[in-house]
A and B are shown apart, each in its own frame.
Chain A
Amino acid sequence: MFSDLTPTSKKILLVFIAVISFTILEIGYYNFEYRNLSSTILQKKKAVSLTQLPDLAFVTETVWLRHRSITSLFSVFPEDGNLLDYYPSSFVYNLQLPNKSKQVNQYSNEEPRNEF
């Protein structure tokens, strides 16, 4: 079947197949690399279970630092509300808010529970 192709066409087809094969091999290689990282991942998990702090040490100049839910004593906006400060994107809209309001409302009309 390849005998139908001229040498020029064969060269172009070869480059085309090589690029696609290289990309597929690259994806396989990075997946293999990730599977070999189990000890690193274990160390990361241990570090987080020791500090119990969420989020990564990316940003160290904002009011909330490690995570916007874990605020400092001086923060203004991050106490819930619609707009949550997130450096450097200024803010994100809190999608969780409607669910939270529902949960609060569900119990606001009920009698106090003595078993607590």
Chain B
Amino acid sequence: MNFKLVDFTLKSLKRNMTKKLSVIFIFTVLVFLLVSVFSISSSIKKELLISVDSLPELIVQKMSGGRQTLIPVERAFEIASIPGVNNAYDRVWGYYFFENVNVNFTILGLDFDLETYKKKYDNIIEMNSDIIDTSNTPFMIAGKGVVEIFNSYYNPNYFDFIKGNGKRMRTNIAGSFSDESALETNDVILMPIQNVRELFDIEEHLATDIVVRVPNPEEIDVVKQKIQFMYPDCRLVSRQDIEASYQNVFDYKSGLFLSLLIAAFVAFFILIYDKTSGLSLEDKREIGILKAVGWQVENILQIKFIEGAIISLFSFSFGTGLALFYVYTLQAPLLRNLFTGASYLKPEFDLLPIVDLQVLSLIFILTVPIYIMATIIPSWRAAIIDADEVMH
């Protein structure tokens, strides 16, 4: 590379710095916004995808009149006898609306007497005491968001749930989930299954839905069809359905924001169009003088290429660097609200630092080469005309 040309270009850039600053600013802001939105989106998507393997392969819901209704528990035994099914069990869970702060808690029934439970999950739950009395008073293990709501608006030690018949059910807070799982468990309350049945008025032979475990992924579709055949009134949600819907939802949300960025895109492309449609008189005169003093067309194209590459690469790197810092170190204030709800029970979470190189490459290809081309083409047009004509 001829460093004298680089030197000439850099000095030319310094002379015209005020003119180039507006281009650098717009370019940087555009890259910053694009990288920020895609980084938040891919970070949340990653969060969902790393936990998706822990979900059951199939969820069976009974439908009646187009709505979900309670499912008989006995169906779990029949489903468990299908070849290929490792385990099928009923779940009792639902939502409890806490009117004071306009939030829903997700209450999940669990059999706390199972020994495997404590051994397996003790490091994600912080218990307030070592011994849990499962026989007498109802108790719960709550997510961080729920505990904070109780501390602020109720009692830090217990909560009075109102049952279907209007009576109160005093429930002690026995423990809470760890901070690391806040994004998954912020609104969750675990309670003994008999207490959840009492609270939601669900009889012993009924459940909310049935969870089906199928170890062999090749058999999931067959098992799904068999269950559908056995129970035509049931709807089945597979893990693949959930994964596909994540993709839809985040594409939709990113797309929604991108549509807002159209104005910025239009401004950027008008700028490029303006550059391609013709150079300013000053630029043309400069090219004319260079040709007159003996510069070749290729030399002129080289300096224009270096100029375009320096401006676009600088803006792209600066915008990307700022965006990554804003998203992963500052945790994307304001912008991440696009992806969360409007309720008070917002989980405090850290975005996973995932740098999606595919997205960065896509943004790079869409901006940097286009800008360089937009710089070179009009210069080439001016450079092939006779020097005398250009100067006039």
Task: Compute how far the CA of A23 lies from the CA of B313 in the bound complex, rounded to whole angstroms.
Answer: 11
Residue pair B341, A89 in contact (C-beta under 8 Å): no
Chain B residues whose CB sits within 8 angstroms of the CB of A47 once the complex forms: 51, 124, 177-178, 181, 184-185
Residue pair A54, B310 in contact (C-beta under 8 Å): no
Chain B residues whose CB sits within 8 angstroms of the CB of A113 once the complex forms: 229
Q: Does B242 sit within 8 A of A, measured CB to CB?
A: yes
Closest to B68 in A: A71
Residue pair B347, A9 in contact (C-beta under 8 Å): no
Q: Does B132 sit within 8 A of A, measured CB to CB?
A: no
Chain B residues whose CB sits within 8 angstroms of the CB of A80 once the complex forms: 235
Residue pair B187, A44 in contact (C-beta under 8 Å): no
Residue pair B252, A89 in contact (C-beta under 8 Å): yes
- Among candidates B68, B105, B256, residue contacting A89 with C-beta atoms closer than 8 Å: B256
Interface residues of A in 92-116 (CB under 8 A from B): 92-96, 103, 107, 112-113, 116
Nearest CB of chain A from residue B192's CB, rounded to whole Å: 14
- Among candidates B47, B56, B245, residue contacting A69 with C-beta atoms closer than 8 Å: B245
- Among candidates A5, A41, A65, A92, residue contacting B3 with C-beta atoms closer than 8 Å: A5
Chain A residues whose CB sits within 8 angstroms of the CB of B94 once the complex forms: 72
Task: Compute how far the CA of A95 lies from the CA of B160 in the bound complex, rounded to whole angstroms.
Answer: 43
Interface residues of B in 312-361 (CB under 8 A from A): 313-314, 317-318, 320-321, 324-325, 328, 339-343, 345-347, 352-355, 357, 360
Residue pair B317, A19 in contact (C-beta under 8 Å): yes
Nearest CB of chain B from residue A51's CB, rounded to whole Å: 6
Chain B residues whose CB sits within 8 angstroms of the CB of A84 once the complex forms: 245
Q: Does B168 sit within 8 A of A, measured CB to CB?
A: no
Nearest CB of chain A from residue B66's CB, rounded to whole Å: 5
Q: Which of A20, A46, A59, A68 has the most CB of B within 10 A?
A: A46
Nearest CB of chain B from residue A18's CB, rounded to whole Å: 10
Residue pair B342, A61 in contact (C-beta under 8 Å): yes
Residue pair A73, B54 in contact (C-beta under 8 Å): no
Q: What are 8 pairs between A and B in contact, CB < 8 Å?
A: A20-B314, A26-B324, A44-B50, A44-B180, A48-B55, A55-B242, A66-B187, A73-B68
Residue pair B102, A61 in contact (C-beta under 8 Å): yes
Task: Compute how far the CA of A49 lies from the CA of B117 in the bound complex, rounded to whole angstroms.
Answer: 11
Nearest CB of chain A from residue B326's CB, rounded to whole Å: 11
Residue pair A13, B106 in contact (C-beta under 8 Å): no
Residue pair A61, B341 in contact (C-beta under 8 Å): yes
Residue pair A23, B317 in contact (C-beta under 8 Å): yes
Size of the chain A interface, CB-CB below 8 angstroms = 71
Residue pair B249, A92 in contact (C-beta under 8 Å): yes
Size of the chain B interface, CB-CB below 8 angstroms = 98
Q: Does B199 sit within 8 A of A, measured CB to CB?
A: no
Q: Does A53 sit within 8 A of B, measured CB to CB?
A: yes
Nearest CB of chain B from residue A79's CB, rounded to whole Å: 5
Stretch at the interface among B10-18, B151-159, B264-272, B369-377: B10-18
Interface residues of A in 32-61 (CB under 8 A from B): 33-34, 37, 39-41, 43-61
Closest to A57 in B: B186
- Among candidates B110, B190, B256, B340, residue contacting A59 with C-beta atoms closer than 8 Å: B340
Task: Compute how far the CA of A88 lies from the CA of B225 in the bound complex, rounded to whole angstroms.
Answer: 33
Chain A residues whose CB sits within 8 angstroms of the CB of B55 once the complex forms: 48, 52, 54
Nearest CB of chain B from residue A99's CB, rounded to whole Å: 9
Residue pair B229, A62 in contact (C-beta under 8 Å): no
Q: Which 3 A-B pairs have the closest CB atoms?
A: A59-B341, A47-B181, A57-B186
Q: Does B286 sit within 8 A of A, measured CB to CB?
A: no
Residue pair A57, B188 in contact (C-beta under 8 Å): yes
Residue pair B106, A53 in contact (C-beta under 8 Å): yes
Task: Compute how far the CA of A69 lies from the CA of B68 in the bound complex, rounded to whole angstroms.
Answer: 11
Residue pair B54, A2 in contact (C-beta under 8 Å): no
Task: Compute how far the CA of A1 lies from the CA of B7 in the bound complex, rounded to whole angstroms.
Answer: 11
Residue pair B345, A60 in contact (C-beta under 8 Å): yes
Chain A residues whose CB sits within 8 angstroms of the CB of B185 once the complex forms: 47, 51, 57
Task: Compute how far the CA of A75 lies from the CA of B59 in the bound complex, rounded to whole angstroms.
Answer: 18
Residue pair B53, A103 in contact (C-beta under 8 Å): no
Nearest CB of chain A from residue B259's CB, rounded to whole Å: 11
Q: Does B6 sit within 8 A of A, measured CB to CB?
A: yes
Q: Hey, what's the 0/1 contact readout for A1-21 against B, CB within 8 Å counting as 1?
A: 110111011001100100110
Task: Compute how far the CA of A56 lies from the CA of B121 in the bound complex, rounded to whole angstroms.
Answer: 19
Known: A44-B183, A58-B340, A89-B256. A31 touches B355 (CB 8 A): yes
Chain A residues whose CB sits within 8 angstroms of the CB of B354 once the complex forms: 30, 34
